[in-house]
Amino acid sequence: MRLLQISTAGALLAVAVAFAGVGRPESAQGSSPGTRSVTVTGSGIVTAIPNEAAFTFGASSTAATAQGAIAANAGKAHRVIAALRAAGVAKADVRTQDVSISRHWDEDGREDGFTAHNSVEVTVRALARAGAVVDAAVAAGATETSGPIFDRAGSAVLYRDALEAAFAEARAKAATLAGEADATLGRVVRIEESQGGPLPRPVYDRMALAKEATPVEPGTEDVQATVTVTFTLA
């Protein structure tokens, strides 16, 4: 079930009113010289609950030879991937992120072998299973975990909802200013869109493997849109 809450930002980000005979004509913004116009900025926010998350799981192995290290780590990687699949992660949602090998040095700085590393990026589409997926990967031999990065399928629809709210706020502001200027709101002559910046992400607190599944709480995310609109005044 999609949980949405649409709100509009109350702060007026930018308002510019231009009238004939005051300053330079607004021809650069799509109005002919002498045409009265008003330019306003509106913001729209859609708040939604994420419904998927991305994690990265990795493992390393050290051996005297490069071949020995990469072979040993291949076994670990296979076990981690098998555990992820058994935990309900689809094959299409498991992607190898890194396969690498490097020289290894002991505490005295002497080269004593090679270290192989392998990691996979996983998308969990059933968030109720996210904690169990983390635990399964660790139990299978993953020694490196990172995430989650939360997301919501269908975010393009949410952004369009935010755009609609942003334009509605811009029109309401322009109508108020037109009334203050004893004018009526005319047609739209210019629209500029700017998407909101990075959205706050809930923090994942990594916990030790316990009898209960590791908790993963998605929280909420805001999808924000901003539009700057120029209307003519009559």
Domain boundaries, the chain: 4-50+154-233, 52-151
Per-residue confidence (pLDDT) for residue 32, from 0 to 100:
54
Query: Does the domain spanning 52-151 belong to CATH 3.30.70.2970?
Result: yes
Convert the pLDDT of each residue in 194-225 to its tens digit.
865 445 444 433 333 345 678 888 888 888 99
pTM above 0.75, yes or no: no
What tens digit of pLDDT does each residue of 107-144 get?
Answer: 888 888 999 999 999 999 998 899 999 999 999 999 99
Please tell me the predicted confidence (pLDDT) of residue 1.
Answer: 35
Mean pLDDT of 4-27: 36
3-state SS of the chain is CCCEEEEECCCCCCEEEECCCCCCCCHHHCCCCCCCEEEEEEEEEEEECCCEEEEEEEEEEEECCHHHHHHHHHHHHHHHHHHHHHCCCCHHHEEEEEEEEEEEECCCCCEEEEEEEEEEEEEECCHHHHHHHHHHHHHCCCCEEEEEEEECCCHHHHHHHHHHHHHHHHHHHHHHHHHHCCCCEEEEEEEEEEECCCCCCCCCCCCCCCCCCCCCCCCCEEEEEEEEEEEEEC
Overall average pLDDT of the 18-38 stretch: 51
The CATH class for the domain spanning 4-50+154-233 reads alpha beta
pLDDT value at 8 more than 90: no
Condensed to tens digits (0 to 9), the pLDDT of residues 97-106 reads 999 999 998 8
> Does residue 232 register a pLDDT over 70?
yes
